């Protein structure tokens, strides 16, 4: 069964304290892995798509990496405005409906 597990569930960082969020996945064939940011009461905001192992993408203080079993979202020198829930999702090859499978997210709090 296709599955996505995110860890940790919650993370508190001091401003400037770099860290990584993990997304482990089990999928029959990976079509794509997606990272989203969600603020309270809002819809998820698209961050990155990764398609194959070894791929990396960067945007400001965020960097996403992908292996055959997991993805990491590295946050360098975070600021309080980076506080949000970060969601990971995978899309499986052969999924005729292009269905996304979401993890439960990591709630990040960055303290000033």
Partner 1 sequence: GAVVSQHPSRVICKSGTSVKIECRSLDFQATTMFWYRQFPKQSLMLMATSNEGSKATYEQGVEKDKFLINHASLTLSTLTVTSAHPEDSSFYICSASFRGVEAFFGQGTRLTVV
Rule CB under 8 A: which residues touch partner 1? 31-32, 34, 36, 41-46, 49, 87, 91, 97-100, 102-105, 107
- In angstroms, give the least distance from the CB of 27 to partner 1: 15
- In angstroms, give the least distance from the CB of 18 to partner 1: 25
Q: How large is the C-alpha radius of gyration of the chain?
A: 14
Q: Are 21 and 73 in contact (CB under 8 A)?
A: yes
- In angstroms, give the least distance from the CB of 4 to partner 1: 9
């Amino acid at each position: 069964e296709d599955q996505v597990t995110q860890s940790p569930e919650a993370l508190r960082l001091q401003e400037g304290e770099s860290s990584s969020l993990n997304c482990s996945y089990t999928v029959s064939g990976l079509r794509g892995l997606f990272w989203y940011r969600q603020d309270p009461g809002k819809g998820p905001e698209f961050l990155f798509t990764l398609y194959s192992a070894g791929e990396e993408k960067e945007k400001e203080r965020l960097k996403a990496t992908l292996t055959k079993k997991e993805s990491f979202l590295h946050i360098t020198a975070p600021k309080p405005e980076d506080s949000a829930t970060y969601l990971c999702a995978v899309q499986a090859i052969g999924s005729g409906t292009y269905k996304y499978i979401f993890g439960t997210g990591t709630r990040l709090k960055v303290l000033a």
